[in-house]
C-alpha cells in the first residue's frame, strides 16, 4: 500500500528565508508527483507536477525535485514571503486496484513571519 509522509508537520520561518519541504513515498512505481497548496477553508491548488520520467519542475520561486528510486521529493521555496503561508501537500499518482489513485501526505503547515 502506498504511503506518503511529509516532514515536518509544521514549519515557521522569517520572511526572506529559503526553505525546503520534504515528501517521501513508499512505492516508487508512480506516474507523477504533485505539490499542492491549501489555504485555510479553501480547496487545493496545484503548484507543480513532476512526471515520473522527470527530475524537477520550476515555477517562479518554487522548485520541486523528484528522486523516484529513493522515494523522495523536495519543494524548495526561495525568498519566502508572508503570502506563502499555507499548508503544502504532496501527492503521488499510482496504480491501485486496477485504477489510478492519488495518495496524499498530511501536509506541512508553513508560517512565514513578517
Which residues contact other proteins (rule: CB under 8 A)? 31-32, 34, 36, 41-46, 49, 51, 89, 91, 93, 96-107
Cell digits for 105?
501526505
Least distance (Å) between residue 47 CB and other proteins: 10
Nearer to other proteins, 47 or 80 (CB): 47
Buried b (16+ CB within 10 A) or exposed e, 34-58: bbbbeeeeeebeebbbbeeeeeebe
Least distance (Å) between residue 9 CB and other proteins: 11
Nearer to other proteins, 50 or 112 (CB): 50
- Find out whether 72 and 84 touch, Cβ atoms under 8 Å: no
CA distance 78 to 100: 33
Nearer to other proteins, 31 or 58 (CB): 31
Least distance (Å) between residue 111 CB and other proteins: 18
Amino acid at each position: 500500500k502506498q504511503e506518503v509522509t511529509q516532514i515536518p508537520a509544521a514549519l515557521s520561518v522569517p520572511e526572506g528565508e529559503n526553505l525546503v519541504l520534504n515528501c517521501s513515498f513508499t512505492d516508487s512505481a508512480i506516474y507523477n508527483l504533485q505539490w499542492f497548496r491549501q489555504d485555510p477553508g479553501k480547496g487545493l491548488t496545484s503548484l507543480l507536477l513532476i512526471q515520473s520520467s522527470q527530475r524537477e519542475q520550476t515555477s517562479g520561486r518554487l522548485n520541486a525535485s523528484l528522486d523516484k528510486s529513493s522515494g523522495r521529493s523536495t519543494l524548495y521555496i526561495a525568498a519566502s514571503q508572508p503570502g506563502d503561508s499555507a499548508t503544502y501537500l504532496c501527492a503521488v499518482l499510482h496504480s491501485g486496484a486496477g485504477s489510478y489513485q492519488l495518495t496524499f501526505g498530511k501536509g506541512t503547515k508553513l508560517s512565514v513571519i513578517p
